[in-house]
């Protein structure tokens, strides 16, 4: 996905969210740090553009709620959670860039519940790559793709990375072989078989001797 595809997907998701929630009242967007945050902010901006209502946006750090915290780092880096609106009895749309195993979303739900008891929690992701390990599904999806376990989905936003795009990459980069002079040459264009055969036959035909016409 290039920047245009990303923008169109977010605009569509924004309309779907308003339609599903039933308006702009009583709900908030919460982005999972890091790249769930620009997604939440852009969804809020897209909703405001079409409805003239600014939906509040929160930022959520899930580091201490991860089930693999002991394997991530000895001293994990914590980022601030900033939710300036009450989540109690609200519809919360949780936002993340990629949905994979479901473990990040599970941690995010636990973190939100520590702030209150929402009426319901919905999930919006830019890319759903499948291969779930937990029974978690997204309600709003920018793009759904099939992936293998050896592939990586790379999502970048201009706010965090300077560019908007989505790439599907190999986990282990392939070895690049430098082409030889012979292989680097541009192959000659082949003539159609019929034309070649005709030309050969014409070349092989003997010359007619000049003679008087009968």
Q: What is the pLDDT of residues 50-84, one digit of tens each?
A: 999 999 999 999 999 988 776 655 666 788 999 99
Query: Do the Cβ atoms of 48 and 54 come closer than 8 Å?
Result: yes
User: What pLDDT was estimated at residue 82?
Assistant: 97
Q: Domain coordinates of the chain in residue numbers?
A: 3-170
Note the pLDDT of residue 67: 85
8 Å CB contact between 53 and 24: yes
Q: pLDDT (tens digit, 9 = 90+) per residue, 85-109?
A: 999 999 999 999 999 999 999 999 9
Query: According to the model, what pLDDT value does residue 201 have?
Result: 46
Query: Which pLDDT value is given to residue 191?
Result: 43
Task: Extract the residue ranges of the chain whose pLDDT is less than 70.
Answer: 70-76, 173-214
Per-residue model confidence (pLDDT) at position 79: 87
Which of these CATH numbers, 3.40.50.2020, 3.40.50.300, 1.10.1740.10, 1.10.760.10, describes 3-170? 3.40.50.2020
Q: What pLDDT, on the 0 to 100 scale, is given for residue 72?
A: 59
Could you give the CA distance from residue 20 to residue 38 in angstroms, rounded to a whole number? 21
Q: Which of 138, 104, 143, 150 is nearest to 127 (CA)?
A: 143
């Amino acid at each position: 996905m290039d920047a245009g595809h990303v923008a169109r997907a977010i605009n569509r998701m924004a309309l779907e969210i308003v339609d599903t929630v039933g308006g702009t009242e009583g709900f908030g967007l919460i982005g999972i740090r890091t790249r769930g945050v620009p997604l939440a902010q852009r969804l809020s901006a897209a909703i405001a553009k079409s409805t003239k209502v600014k939906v509040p946006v929160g930022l959520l750090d899930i580091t201490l709620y991860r089930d693999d915290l002991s394997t991530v780092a000895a001293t994990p880096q914590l980022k601030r959670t900033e939710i300036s609106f009450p989540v109690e009895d609200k519809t919360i749309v949780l936002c993340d860039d990629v949905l994979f195993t479901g473990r990040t979303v599970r941690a995010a739900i636990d973190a939100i519940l520590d702030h209150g008891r929402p009426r319901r929690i919905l999930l919006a992701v830019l890319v759903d790559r499948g291969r779930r390990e937990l029974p978690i599904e997204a309600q709003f999806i920018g793009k759904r793709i099939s992936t293998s376990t050896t592939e990586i989905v790379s999502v970048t936003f201009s706010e965090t990375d300077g560019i908007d795009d989505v790439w599907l990459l190999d986990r282990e980069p392939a070895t690049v072989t430098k082409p030889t002079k012979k292989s680097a040459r541009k192959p000659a264009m082949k003539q159609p078989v019929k034309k070649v055969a005709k030309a050969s036959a014409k070349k092989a035909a003997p010359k007619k001797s000049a003679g008087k016409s009968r």
